[in-house]
Structure 1
Amino acid sequence: MRLVTTPRVAFLRGLAEEVLARCGRGRMTVAIDGPLLSGKSALGDDLAAVLAERDHAVFRARLEDFHRSRAAQAEYGADTPERYYGYGFDESALRRSLVEPFRFGGSAAFVTKVRDPARDAWVEPKWVTGPEDAILIVDGRFVLRERLADLWDLRIAVAGEPTDPADLIAYAHADPRRTADRVVDVADPAHPRLVG
């Protein structure tokens, strides 16, 4: 289904061209990082929609759906921004349940969500698979951190200054805007633009 052309859609079509140019054939992973409430999830959703209008298989996931349980986080000490940045997410599950089987391709099944952070509860896994040529878009705070760098073929950061304490810690360690392949300013959501 063809999307209505707006300045946002036109911009995302250009970004999608870059994704597809890098992708060629096979499986590709795209990560979108940014501060809390920066618009990264909406950017990921809309980029997926633009890729889908070209009949390309696209899967979406959010790092939020790979939280550690509160009990598991508590094993790392008091509830602080440092603990959340360091241990808030189950990166092993992200690798094991999503990215690695997705990259394997073929009939390997993967899940795009393992936990409901609002309820602090595991979700029943919905195992999915896809065609040989497919793109996985994952958004989330800290998704471009160094220890996850090997997971992504294309790295996108949303412009904007961090204000949340955990984001301030993350940006002090490694500013995703400096490690991203592309930096997108979505301060005006209707008119996003590349700034790096």
Structure 2
Amino acid sequence: MRLEPVTWEILTEQLAEHVAGQASASGDGSAWRRVAVDGAPPAPTGELAEELAEALRLRGRPVLVVDADGFLRADSLRFEFGKQDPDAYYDLWYDTGALWREVFGPLDRGGDGRVLPDLRAPSVDRPTRSPHVLLPRGGVMVLHGPFLLGHWFPFDLSVHLGLSAKALERQTPVGERWRLPAFARYAEEVAPEEAADVCVRADKPRHPAWNGPPRHGSPPPP
């Protein structure tokens, strides 16, 4: 894959232009746009998601940013095989069923746009009891976090912030390096750099490189 140097500012602006310029209905007939910012914890997925959201708001689009870490399962399920099991981290930690039900379902064709922004606070292992948020038709939901690709989530645009194996190890705190095999498995099974619409290499945080902006627009609904 050929990657070209880019600044975060230019990258964000071009992604926002792409999303804001898409057709009024997505390919599956949804009235909303659904964007993924995928990457391991050392990658600045949350920062890019928030910057993209602000750029879209300046273009007149309402935006809801959702952190995948707000949809972690209960400790009793996540830690069934111990607190440092990389396969459990990959397979069990994130409640993809809840994401389908509470985030993507309301934004499906015929949905009401009432999204649950988070489900559980992992720091205290309790439900957040957050109220649903109404995202107006024509709005954009930006979901950020790890392991977002490969679940058939209906993203209209997917961005993967990739790190080489050496950079990922270097930027991961020592106490969290037990997670590294999970990201190696993700790379092997999902190949996110190929699966994503846009791939950004973030080995050098101040000097990202990418495979270029997505093509403008989106195919018309069937």
Please report the TM-score for the alignment, with normalisation by the length of structure 2: 0.76
User: CA offsets per residue over residues 33-67 of structure 1, 9 Å max, x none?
Assistant: 11221111111111111111112111100111100
Report the counterpart of residue 84 of structure 1 in structure 2. 89
Report the counterpart of residue 71 of structure 1 in structure 2. 76
Give the Cα–Cα distance (whole angstroms) in 1 for the partners of residues 98 and 19 of structure 2.
Answer: 25
After superposition, residues 1-196 of structure 1 pair within 5 angstroms as 7-25=7-25, 26-75=31-80, 77-79=81-83, 80-104=85-109, 107-144=112-149, 146=150, 148-161=151-164, 162-163=168-169, 164-190=180-206, 192-195=208-211
Read off the aligned partner of 2:157 and give its amino acid letter: L
Aligned-pair CA distance for 1:192: 4.0
Aligned CA distance change for structure 1 residues 134 and 108 (closer, same or farther; 3 Å)? closer
Aligned CA distance change for structure 1 residues 89 and 137 (closer, same or farther; 3 Å)? same
> Greater CA deviation, 77-86 or 63-72?
77-86
Read off the aligned partner of 2:191 and give its amino acid letter: D
CA contact (8 A) 1:28 1:103 kept: no
Count, aligned residues = 187
Aligned-pair CA distance for 1:103: 2.9
> Greater CA deviation, 87-96 or 102-111?
102-111
**Aligned partner of residue 124 in structure 2, secondary structure:** coil
Identity of aligned residues (%): 25
**Aligned partner of residue 115 in structure 2, secondary structure:** coil
Give the Cα–Cα distance (whole angstroms) in 2 for the partners of residues 171 and 117 of structure 1.
Answer: 26
Read off the aligned partner of 1:173 and give its amino acid letter: E
CA contact (8 A) 2:37 2:159 kept: yes
Q: Structure 2, unaligned stretches of length 5 or more? A: 1-6, 26-30, 170-179, 213-222
Aligned-pair CA distance for 1:115: 0.9
**Aligned partner of residue 149 in structure 1, secondary structure:** coil
Aligned CA distance change for structure 1 residues 191 and 112 (closer, same or farther; 3 Å)? same
Read off the aligned partner of 2:10 and give its amino acid letter: A
Aligned CA distance change for structure 1 residues 66 and 9 (closer, same or farther; 3 Å)? same
**Aligned partner of residue 150 in structure 1, secondary structure:** coil
Give the Cα–Cα distance (whole angstroms) in 2 for the partners of residues 55 and 67 of structure 1.
Answer: 32
Give the aligned CA root-mean-square deviation in angstroms.
Answer: 2.1
Give the Cα–Cα distance (whole angstroms) in 2 for the partners of residues 104 and 190 of structure 1.
Answer: 39
Aligned-pair CA distance for 1:158: 0.6
**Aligned partner of residue 124 in structure 1, secondary structure:** coil
CA contact (8 A) 1:48 1:137 kept: yes
Aligned-pair CA distance for 1:106: 6.2
Read off the aligned partner of 1:180 and give its amino acid letter: A
Aligned CA distance change for structure 1 residues 160 and 51 (closer, same or farther; 3 Å)? same
Q: Structure 1, unaligned stretches of length 5 or more? A: 1-6
User: CA offsets per residue over residues 49-107 of structure 1, 9 Å max, x none?
Assistant: 111111211110011110001112345x4441001101111111111111111335664
